[in-house]
């Protein structure tokens, strides 16, 4: 068995353990990868802390409701103890997002390709300019996804990630969190699309999905839960391939919150 395969088996065991302590953070792992990749690609840059001379992506307003960074940091620490310098933080994040969702089904919900390397740059300004705003209308949403070579179908499908209980800070009260899918806050399912159809989506961007005939059709198709599961996995695979660093580009960080 290869060194990488041994690491990935060990990783799956760690995720199973951390799921028990990170139950409320599983949606955040998916949000971290989606929002992180909209900044500069799937390079783990969203995991980096700010420095004295730079404000990192994680402090940007769109990312301030994200949690779960500590789970990623601890997984990396355990992996480095057994086999250092093999699994990147970018791969850990992609795998953790998949396995935290998959845990309730006791099987992998989609394939995650590995081999990513970690980026060395993380800027608040890139998060602000690249992450789709909850106030976007349909046209702006579609363009933001197209900028990352993602389709209208990906836009509607990945919006369904809100169904796994992700919470966000309100603009009027930073101490308050609001479930994006109050009808099904801890389960990965297609309930989000029922809420959107009932015009109960939390954001303007949720309501925007009904303002276009094609996207509205996709919303209705994704009410079928098995169909949603399949399509979500496919879109996450495409998202996970956005602007990936490989070869000699980037690095494999020793700690996910700081560059080497």
In this prediction, residue 24 carries a pLDDT of 47
pLDDT in tens, 128-141: 888 888 889 999 99
What residues form the annotated binding site for heme b? 162
Please provide the DSSP assignment of 21-66 as one string. Answer: H-GGGHHHHHHHHHHHHHHT-SSSGGGPPPBTTB--GGGSGGGTT-
Of 47, 107, 57, give the one whose Cα is nearest residue 77: 47
In this prediction, residue 11 carries a pLDDT of 54
Q: Are 56 and 122 in contact (CB under 8 A)?
A: yes
What residues form the annotated binding site for Ca(2+)? 41, 43, 45, 57, 163, 181, 189
In this prediction, residue 257 carries a pLDDT of 95
What residues form the annotated binding site for substrate? 132
In this prediction, residue 28 carries a pLDDT of 56
In this prediction, residue 255 carries a pLDDT of 96
pLDDT in tens, 153-206: 999 999 988 877 555 555 454 556 666 767 776 778 899 999 999 998 888 999
Residues of the chain with pLDDT under 50: 1, 17, 20-26, 36, 171, 173
Q: Are 157 and 218 in contact (CB under 8 A)?
A: yes
CA distance 33 to 109: 16
What residues form the annotated binding site? 41, 43, 45, 57, 132, 162-163, 181, 189
Of 200, 209, 154, give the one whose Cα is nearest residue 181: 200
In this prediction, residue 146 carries a pLDDT of 93
Residue 212: Cβ within 10 Å count:
19
Of 250, 15, 36, give the one whose Cα is nearest residue 132: 36
């Amino acid at each position: 068995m290869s060194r990488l395969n041994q690491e990935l088996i060990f990783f799956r065991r760690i995720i199973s353990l951390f799921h028990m302590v990170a139950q409320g953070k599983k949606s955040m792992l998916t949000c971290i990868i989606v929002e992180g990749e909209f900044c500069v690609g799937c390079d783990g840059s969203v995991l980096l802390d700010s420095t004295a001379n730079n404000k990192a992506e994680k402090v940007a307003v769109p990312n301030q409701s994200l949690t779960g960074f500590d789970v990623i940091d601890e997984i990396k620490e355990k992996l480095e103890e057994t086999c250092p310098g093999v699994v990147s933080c970018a791969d850990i994040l992609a795998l953790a997002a998949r396995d935290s969702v998959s845990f309730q089904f006791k099987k992998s919900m989609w394939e995650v390709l590995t081999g990513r390397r970690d980026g060395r740059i993380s800027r608040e300004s890139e998060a602000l300019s690249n992450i789709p705003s909850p106030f976007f209308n349909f046209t702006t949403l579609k363009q933001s996804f197209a900028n990352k070579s993602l389709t209208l179908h990906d836009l509607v499908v990945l919006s369904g990630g809100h169904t796994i209980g992700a919470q966000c800070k309100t603009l009027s009260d930073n101490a308050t969190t609001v479930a994006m899918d109050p009808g099904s806050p801890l389960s990965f399912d297609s309930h989000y699309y029922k809420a959107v159809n009932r015009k109960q989506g939390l954001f303007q961007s949720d309501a925007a999905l009904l303002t276009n005939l094609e996207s509205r059709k996709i919303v209705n198709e994704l009410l079928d839960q098995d169909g949603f599961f399949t399509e979500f996995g496919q879109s996450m695979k495409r998202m996970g391939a956005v602007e990936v660093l490989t070869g000699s580009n980037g690095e494999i960080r020793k700690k996910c919150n700081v560059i080497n």
